[in-house]
Chain A
Amino acid sequence: MATEITPGEAYGFFTDTSVCIGCKACEVACKEWNQLPEKEDELGFLGQSLDNTGELNGSTWRHVQFIDNVPDQTMSEGNGKAFLLMSDVCKHCKHASCLEVCPTGAIIRTEFDTVFIQEDVCNGCRDCIAACPYDVIDMDEERDVARKCTLCYDRLQGGMEPACAKACPTDSIQFGPLDELRNRAKKREATLHAQGLKEANLYGHDDKVYGGLNAFFLLMDKPEAYKLPNVANAVLPSRNNIGGYLGGVVTAVLGLLATVIALRERRRGGGESSESPEDARA
């Protein structure tokens, strides 16, 4: 049943990695809908597992990670592990690091509670790249501005679900109102636990990670295995504001003190130097 999309409500993705089959339909659908160009070296062969996309970047807004979780030798036949698969995307963080540092106001929160970069406002300072803890934002090489997943802002405005969720054949990517998705995710986690898959864990469904992620995940390993910072490390850039400025203020005061001491020492040492510039330096 199609989701009714109403401005003013919060929407997002629930990505259930336990059913991802690595088909990359989401990547293709995203590229197609958003008319994202291929990067120069994109058709190359990375030689690292089945993943040839490599990363999220300015022209790849969905990336299926293939994380090699297969031990070299299994203890007994059939007792191995499979690839961890995860269709990665901008998390549309409630407390978004990118939005926090953006000096131009180019990064905004939309009426669907998603995080959106206004391309005509962005001037390419790249502060958001240094801030995003998920390595999501990158420069678009053709447009020279920062770009990332828009959660298909244009489709939402037209009442359509995002292209990746529409294309996903296993419902690994589910789109909908955030509250509904969270309830669904909790039930799914409970089901997997009941089946003995205790490693299943939700990431970003509550406010522990960046105040809650609009694009949250059900993972089959620790967050770090998927290059997602764990709860202790999910910290905002602004945490360093006070300490950084205080360090500067204390140094300024000590610098002032040092100069005052230098002025006094000169006076005590008999006033002006009698040396020529040449003599005074070494």
Chain B
Amino acid sequence: MTSFAEAQHFVGDPEWTWYILFYFFVAGLAGGAYFLATLLRHWGTPADEPMARLGIYVAFPATLICPILLTLDLTKPLRFWHMVVNTTPDGFGLNFKIWSPMSVGVWALVLVSLFTVVSFLDALARDGKLRGLPAAVVAVGGTKAWNVVGAVLWLFIASYTGVLLAVSNQPIWSDTWALGGLFLASGLSGAAALLLLLSRYRRGAESSHPVLEIGERLFTVLELMLLAVFVLTLIADGTLDDAFGFPWILLWLVALAGTLPGLRGLAAGRLSVTGGGAVTATRVSAWALAPSLVLIGVLALRAVVIFSAQG
């Protein structure tokens, strides 16, 4: 961030578009889901286990989808492995640059996939859907230590996507340090919403609804606080108009609409779900409406940040 001076940007656009948008979206949701699963399993009650497993099931596909999206985004997809192996003549070895978020992120994705796959196999075994698994996998995949390390890695993945944008010279992206936190907060509220949405298909998961509902409200507050920081940093660098001008303002409105369910719950019931916070709905469409709105908001937030800077 070039503080308190109009930042000069003469940089070109990397043309990071749909693949990157959906990567950020999936990574944010999976990160939040694994994190919530870990806390529910190890710091909740035994009744939270169904939702914890659901969280692991939600995170697992991301270990396949994320690398595929990232690979497809490369103009030389078959060279995806150059991210980790240096093929420079005389320089052969592993690539790791601590100051390049893309390099760190690739390694984090490799590691988090390992943790998630083992947790996924463990969840399947606990659900009785997989037999004959090596005992070590079941013994390890659901332990506190394994899940905590996995959750930390997923939190990193959900958040570094914002840092990746900031570590550039692009307008908007490089004018703020808030993107990492903003993407993480929105990933957490999106994950809570997604788990609430999917819990319909998981028997026993409704026991964890109060935690996720209260969590979603608090994550929404966190997201709005970081959005305020984002705006302030852009004002300082004179790029607010680029980010919020037409047509981007329309996407911002969609992103903000995604915070309404959380705010509504907060206004109605504060941190309680037994009072006015629980809104009774009988129709399936109404049940799905609020989480869907949150998820669309999560996608819109990433879309507007990605596209407005490359206007």
A247-282 interface (Cβ within 8 A of B):
247-248, 250-252, 254-256, 258-263, 265-266, 269-273, 275-282
Looking at B56-64, B124-132, B248-256, B266-274, the stretch in contact with chain A turns out to be B266-274
A244 touches B163 (CB 8 A): yes
B128-171 interface (Cβ within 8 A of A):
155-156, 159-160, 162-163, 166-170
Quote the shortest CB–CB distance from A58 to chain B (angstroms). 10
| Alpha-carbon separation in the docked complex, A253 to B205 (Å) | 25
| Alpha-carbon separation in the docked complex, A145 to B102 (Å) | 17
Q: Which of A122, A133, A263, A271 contacts B76 (CB 8 A)?
A: A122
Known A-B contacts A125-B74, A251-B184, A282-B290; the reply to A233 vs B8 at CB < 8 A is yes
Is A108 at the interface (CB under 8 A from chain B)? yes
Fill in one digit per residue for B4-23: 1 if any A CB lies within 8 Å of its CB, else 0.
01011111111110000000
Known A-B contacts A102-B100, A240-B177; the reply to A262 vs B10 at CB < 8 A is no
B206 touches A130 (CB 8 A): no
Is B34 at the interface (CB under 8 A from chain A)? no
| Alpha-carbon separation in the docked complex, A256 to B12 (Å) | 38
- For the complex, count residues of B whose C-beta is within 8 A of A: 100
The residue on B at minimum CB distance from A244 is B163
Fill in one digit per residue for B62-89: 1 if any A CB lies within 8 Å of its CB, else 0.
0000000000011111011011001110
| Alpha-carbon separation in the docked complex, A135 to B8 (Å) | 12
Known A-B contacts A255-B35, A262-B218, A275-B206; the reply to A243 vs B177 at CB < 8 A is yes
Known A-B contacts A134-B10, A244-B166, A265-B272; the reply to A251 vs B180 at CB < 8 A is yes
Residues of A within 8 A of B95 (CB): 103-105
Is B243 at the interface (CB under 8 A from chain A)? no
Is A132 at the interface (CB under 8 A from chain B)? yes
Residues of A within 8 A of B102 (CB): 101, 103, 125, 127
The residue on B at minimum CB distance from A246 is B177
**Residues in chain B within 8 A of chain A (CB atoms):** 1-2, 5, 7-16, 35-36, 39-40, 43-45, 47, 73-77, 79-80, 82-83, 86-88, 91, 95, 97, 99-103, 106, 155-156, 159-160, 162-163, 166-170, 173-174, 177-182, 184-185, 188, 196-197, 199-200, 205-207, 209-215, 218-219, 222, 226, 229, 261, 271-274, 278-282, 284, 286-291
| Alpha-carbon separation in the docked complex, A277 to B283 (Å) | 11
Known A-B contacts A248-B156, A269-B272; the reply to A275 vs B209 at CB < 8 A is yes
Residues of A within 8 A of B218 (CB): 258-259, 261-262
| Alpha-carbon separation in the docked complex, A105 to B101 (Å) | 14
Residues of B within 8 A of A97 (CB): 169
The residue on B at minimum CB distance from A98 is B169
Fill in one digit per residue for A231-249: 1 if any B CB lies within 8 Å of its CB, else 0.
0110101111101111110
Residues of B within 8 A of A263 (CB): 39-40, 43-44, 211
A121 touches B88 (CB 8 A): yes
Looking at A76-84, A136-144, A155-163, the stretch in contact with chain B turns out to be A136-144
Is A54 at the interface (CB under 8 A from chain B)? no
B5 touches A233 (CB 8 A): yes
Is A118 at the interface (CB under 8 A from chain B)? yes
| Alpha-carbon separation in the docked complex, A252 to B183 (Å) | 11
| Alpha-carbon separation in the docked complex, A136 to B8 (Å) | 16
Point out which of A105, A130, A272 has the most chain B C-beta atoms below 10 A from its C-beta: A130
B181 touches A123 (CB 8 A): no
Contacts A127-B102, A224-B8, A240-B177 known; 20 new A-B pairs at CB < 8 A: A101-B102, A101-B168, A103-B100, A123-B80, A124-B75, A129-B13, A130-B14, A132-B11, A132-B169, A134-B11, A240-B166, A248-B162, A255-B185, A258-B219, A262-B211, A266-B211, A270-B274, A280-B196, A281-B209, A282-B261
Residues of B within 8 A of A244 (CB): 101, 162-163, 166-167, 177, 179-180
Residues of B within 8 A of A134 (CB): 10-11
B8 touches A229 (CB 8 A): yes
B177 touches A280 (CB 8 A): no
B91 touches A105 (CB 8 A): yes
A123 touches B272 (CB 8 A): no
The residue on A at minimum CB distance from B286 is A282
Residues of B within 8 A of A167 (CB): none
| Alpha-carbon separation in the docked complex, A260 to B178 (Å) | 23
B100 touches A272 (CB 8 A): no
A229 touches B10 (CB 8 A): yes
Quote the shortest CB–CB distance from A108 to chain B (angstroms). 7
- Which A-B residue pairs are the 3 nearest by beta carbons? A124-B75, A243-B177, A282-B279
Residues of A within 8 A of B229 (CB): 247
A251 touches B83 (CB 8 A): no
Known A-B contacts A126-B14, A244-B179; the reply to A261 vs B273 at CB < 8 A is no
Is A200 at the interface (CB under 8 A from chain B)? no
Is A5 at the interface (CB under 8 A from chain B)? no
Q: Which of A102, A106, A126, A239 contacts B1 (CB 8 A)?
A: A239
A233 touches B2 (CB 8 A): yes
Is A113 at the interface (CB under 8 A from chain B)? no
| Alpha-carbon separation in the docked complex, A280 to B147 (Å) | 28
Known A-B contacts A238-B99, A244-B180; the reply to A280 vs B74 at CB < 8 A is no
| Alpha-carbon separation in the docked complex, A95 to B274 (Å) | 58
Residues of B within 8 A of A266 (CB): 210-211, 214, 273
